[in-house]
Amino acid sequence: MKRTYADLHLCPDLRNDEQVESVIKSASQLGYSLIGIPLPQNFPEEKIQQLKNLCRGNKMDFASRVDLNPKTSKELIRSLRRLRRQFEIIAVTCKSKQVARQAAKDRRVDLLNFPFHDPRKRFFDKAEAELASNALASMEIDMESLLTLAGRSRIRFLSSLRREVTIAENFHIPVIISSGASNELLMRKPRGMAALASLFDLSKLLSIDAISKNPRAIVERNREKLNPKFVAPGIRLIRRGEDCQKR
Amino acid sequence: MRRRYLALKIDSNETFTSREFVSAIWDAVLKLYGEYGASQTYLALINYDIEKNHAILRTAHTTVDMIRAALASIIEIRNKPAAVHVLKVSGTIKALHEKKKL
C-alpha cells in the first residue's frame, strides 16, 4: 500500500489568511495528505471548518490541534479536562520536569514537545520514557529548530536528539517528525525530512514511519474516540435498540 | 562508481547564479559531514536552469541520503531565504528526464 505522509505541526500565522493558504498549498504540493495546525483554545468552530475546507480543496485532510504550555501539572490537568474532547491532537510543550512527567503519564496527551535546545532543559530521559511507554504519548521533533540553528548549538541539539531517539526506541515510544514551519520555505518534502532525521541516527524505516504511520495512527485513534458511537477501545455502538430510543 | 542524478527545484523569491547555488550546496555538505564526508559525495552540478529554477546534480549512489539531508538543511542562498527540494532521483540523466515527465 502506498504510504501517505503527514505533518502535524505547521505554524502559519492564523490572522494572515494569505500565509495560511500558501502554507496549506505548499504542504499539498510537497506530497503531504494530512496536516495539523495548532489552534488557539477558543478558536471558533466555523474557522476550523474553513481550514478543513481549504485542505479538502487541496486534497488533504486536516487535524485540529492544540498546543498546551502549562506552568504546573495542575494547570495541565485542568486544560486537558477542558480541551480533550474539542481537539483531535493535544500536544504539550514541556518546559519543566513536573509538567513533562505529568504529560508523559496522562493518556489524554498525544504529543510531547521539548522546546529547549539546551540539553539540561530537555526532560526526555529514561524516567520520562518509562511513563510515556505506559500511556499513549509520542515524542515530537520539530525540524524547524534543526534547520535554523547553526554551529555549536546545532551540534548540541543533534546530540540531545540522538540520545532521546535512542531512549524512545528502547522504550517503544513512537517518534513523530514535524516541520514546525511558519512559512513555506521552512517546509521540506517527506523524504527530505526523513533524510534530516538520519542526522540524529533515526533509521530510514523509523524516520519514514515518523512522518507517515505514527502521526496517522494518532489522528485515527482520536477520531475514533471523538466519534459519538465510541464506547471503549474496541467497542463501538452499532445500533440502538428500540428500548434505548424510547428513553 | 555508480552514480545517481538528482533533479532539484529551488524554491525562493530570488534568482541565484549556478556558482551561488553550488556554493550553498557545498557549504551545507561541509557543515553537516565535514571535508571527509564531502569528499565521498563526488558532487557535480550537471545542469542549472535559472529561469525554471531547476537543476540536476550528480553524486555517488552511496551518498544520496547524505545529499538529501544536506539539501534539506539549506535555508538560505546568498543570505536570501530559499529551499531546495529533490524532485526525482535516477541512475541516468535520460531516465531522470523520463521520470520528470511522468
Model confidence over A186-204: pLDDT tens digits?
999 999 999 999 999 999 9
Whether the CB-CB separation of B73 and B56 falls below 8 Å is answered with: no
Task: Label residue A122 by pLDDT band (50, 70, 90).
Answer: confident
Determine which of A22, A148, A196, A206 to mutate to test the interface with B (most B C-beta atoms within 10 Å). A196
CA distance B1 to chain A (A): 22
Question: Which of B30, B100, A186 is CA-nearest to residue B47?
Answer: B100
What are the cell numbers at A35? 496536516
Q: Average pLDDT for residues A121-130, to the nearest whole number?
A: 89
Compute the half-sphere exposure of residue A75: CA atoms within 13 Å on the CB side of its CA.
Answer: 13
ipTM rounded to 2 decimals = 0.91
Please indicate whether, in this complex, the C-beta atoms of B72 and A192 are within 8 angstroms of each other.
Answer: yes
Contacts of A208 in chain B (CB under 8 A): none
CA distance A223 to chain B (A): 32
Interhelix angle A126-134/A151-170, nearest 10 degrees: 50
Instruction: Please give the Cα distance from A101 to A109 (Å, whole number).
Output: 11
Is the pLDDT score of A25 beyond 60? yes
Give the three-state DSSP class for B75: coil
The minimal CB distance from A185 to the residues B65, B69, B82 is found for: B82
pLDDT confidence of residue B33: 95
Beta pairing, strands B83-90 & B80-81: unpaired
| DSSP assignments along A6-46, one per residue | EE--B---TT-HHHHHHHHHHHHHHTEEEEEEE--TT--HH
Compute the half-sphere exposure of residue A187: CA atoms within 13 Å on the CB side of its CA.
Answer: 24
CA distance A8 to chain B (A): 19
Contacts of B86 in chain A (CB under 8 A): 189, 191-192
Tell me if chain A has a CB within 8 Å of the CB of B83. Answer: yes
Is the pLDDT score of A247 beyond 70? no
pLDDT confidence of residue B74: 96
Please give the single-letter amino acid code of residue A221.
R
